[in-house]
Structures are given as C-alpha cells and as structure tokens.
A = this chain, B = another copy of it.
Amino acid sequence: MSVLIVGTTALDSIKTPTAENPRLLGGSASHAAVAASYFSPVKLAGGVGEDFPKKYIELYRRHKIDLEGLQTLPGKTFHWSGQYELNMNNRRTLMTELGVIETFSPTLPKSYQNSQFVLLGNIAPVLQHRVLDQMRHPKFVVADSMDLWLNIALPDLLKLLKRIDCFVLNDSEAHQLTKEDNVFVALEKIHKLGPKYVIIKKGSHGSILSGPKGFFICPAYPLHKVVDPTGAGDSFAGGMVGYLAGARGSIDANIRRAMIYGSVVASFCCEGFGLNRTTKIKRNDIEKRVKELEKFTRF
C-alpha cells in the first residue's frame, strides 16, 4: 500500500569545521519520503519555491515518489542554514528563510485522499490538521513534531494528538510536553493526551515504543562515525511508516520490526550530509543491518 507523507521540503546549508555543504535537499518530508520509498510507494505533499533545483525533483523521481501533491509556489524555497561544532554533537542555526513555507497550505490531489498510511512529518500543526481534514478513512496516522511547535502552537498540537494513532517525539520534547524526566512516566502521560502508540526517540540510545502490546525497546544501529544527524528522526519515522504500509498483517504484528527498519534507515542518514548516503543505499544494505541488529540484541 502507498503512504502519504506531508512535511517540509527544504534546502539545507550545513557547515562543519572541515566542509561546507550549501543547498542540500532537506526538510522533514524529503527525508521521510526517501526513507519510506525503500518499502512502499510514496505520495509527497509539500511546497517548494521557483528556485527549487530540478536535480532534486529528479532525485524524488528516482525514488518513485508521487509528486502530484508537491506545489511549486511563487517565491523562494524554505532554506535553513546551520553549523556543527567539532565533535558533531552541537549545532546552531545560522539562518532561516521561510520563503514559500510561510504561506503554504497542503491541498491533496484526489489520488492522495484514500491513502491508508499517513505520516504527518514535522511542520506546523495547523497544516497537519489540514491534511487530516482532506483524508477519507486513513488506517494509521503517525505524527512527528518539534520543540518549536510545543512552544508556539501547543493548543493546535494537543488537538492533533486526539486525531492520530501514533505520536513520535524525542526525549527532550517528551520532557517539555509532560514536565517528566522519567521516559516511562512521560509515555503514560502522552497516552492520556490521545495517541494509542507513543514512540520516544533517544538518538544514539535508540527509541522506546509504548502501545497496546506493551513496551518495545528499539536499539540504534552501532555507528562508528556520525557525519550529519540532520533528518535522522524524519528518516526513522518515514522508514517505519513505509515498512508498515508495505507489510501484511496488523499494526501490532508489524510495528516493532517497522521501528527496526526505521532505525536502520536513520543510521544510513547519519553517515552522510543531507540525503547523500540515504539515496545511495539498496534494500539489501538495509536488510544486512537489520540482521546485525537481530544478532546484537538476541540473548
């Protein structure tokens, strides 16, 4: 089955102490869509400016991503620029040009409206609502968010949590939302806000699912070098939803394995700038790392 992915489609300029990478393809929807494309057909909803490079349209096409819902709007593409410190653990934003994202509103083509699997990638909660308003009967809706929306759009986000099946957030956002240090108490509190499935991401420490079948402690793939973690969380969510859409059987039967696949695609994302590494892998590279994770966790 296909998966509908909405989020930002952006240009990222990333500086490190040794390299400059201007105007890479970035944004939550780009990372999630490429990740999901290894498992299912993907329909992308987003907005870019007139300056959006053709080579990135071709990149989407190489991943067989349906672009009927990608709007080209008058103005410039959303552009983020950031700098990493020597140890690659801290980054700071140098510049944010919102461009067309400021006025973008997702309008879903008819062919998108029956999608069964939906990933509301990180974008303003009001736009995530607008996507759901246009859907018929989605089977499984996953939403991601970020600290910014917890700060400036909390009421919209809280309403969204009542409309989705699965909420994915990182540990610092879980703390911000619940005021809880303990991850397991935070998971309980987030369930009470709506979602039946809650996943807290902990970066290199993996992630934790709380769902109807209890907890799943999902490992991160061991990486000896992290080149650029930008988009890793989006890749995780995209890989997970893509795997779910491509698998037979119930959500409960598949979601743990789906998280493992998401975790593996996120590991590839971290090994290159932007989408450089994620776009160069084959399904078989993913399967190899999944097998390794099986070995690393069996006891």
Contact, CB under 8 Å: B257 / A184:
no
CA distance A294 to B216 in the complex (A): 10
Interface pair B182/A215, CB less than 8 Å apart: no
> Contact at A89–B298, with CB atoms within 8 Å?
no
Residue of B nearest to A256 (CB): B299
B295, A182: Cβ atoms under 8 Å?
no
A219 → chain B closest CB, angstroms: 4
Asked if A185 is at the interface of the complex by the 8 Å CB criterion, the answer is yes
Decide yes or no whether A64 CB sits under 8 A from chain B: no
Measured between beta carbons, the chain B residues less than 8 angstroms from A183 are 204, 222
Interface centre among A181, A216, A260, A299 (most CB of B within 10 A): A299
Q: Complex Cα distance A204/B204, Å?
A: 13
**Cβ-defined partner of A217 (8 Å) among B202, B215, B224, B296:** B296
Contacts of A214 in B (CB 8 A): 295-296
- Shortest beta-carbon distance, A227 to chain B, in Å? 12
Q: Mark A225-260, 1 if CB is under 8 A from B, else 0.
A: 110000000000000000000000000000011011
Stoichiometry, as copies per complex, reads: 2
Q: Which residues on B sit within 8 Å (CB–CB) of A87?
A: 181
Q: Any chain B CB within 8 A of the CB of A18? A: no
The secondary structure that dominates the A interface is mixed
Give the residues in chain B near A225, CB-CB below 8 Å.
Answer: 182, 185
- If A202-B205, A214-B296 touch, whether A224 touches B181 (CB-CB below 8 Å) is no
User: Is A297 at the interface (CB under 8 A from chain B)?
Assistant: yes
With an 8 A cutoff between CB atoms, is A223 at the interface?
yes
Assess A297 versus B295: contact at CB under 8 Å? Given A184-B223, A205-B205.
no
Chain B residues in 8 Å Cβ range of A293: 217
Contacts of A260 in B (CB 8 A): 299
Give, as a whole number of angstroms, the nearest-CB distance from A114 to chain B. 30
Which B-chain residue is minimally distant from A213 (CB atoms)?
B295
- Docked-complex contact B257 and A299, CB < 8 angstroms: yes
Partner of A215, one of B181, B205, B296: B296
In the assembly, what is the distance between CA of A215 and CA of B293, in Å? 9
Q: How far does the alpha carbon of A228 sit from the alpha carbon of B89 in the complex, in Å?
A: 29
Kindly identify, within residues 76 to 98 of chain A, every residue whose CB is under 8 Å from any CB belonging to chain B.
Answer: 87, 89
Instruction: Name the residue of chain B whose CB is nearest to the CB of A254.
Output: B299
A-B contact pairs, 5 of them (CB 8 A): A183-B222, A185-B224, A205-B206, A214-B296, A215-B296
> Lowest 6 A-B CB distances belong to which pairs?
A256-B299, A205-B205, A217-B219, A215-B296, A217-B296, A184-B222
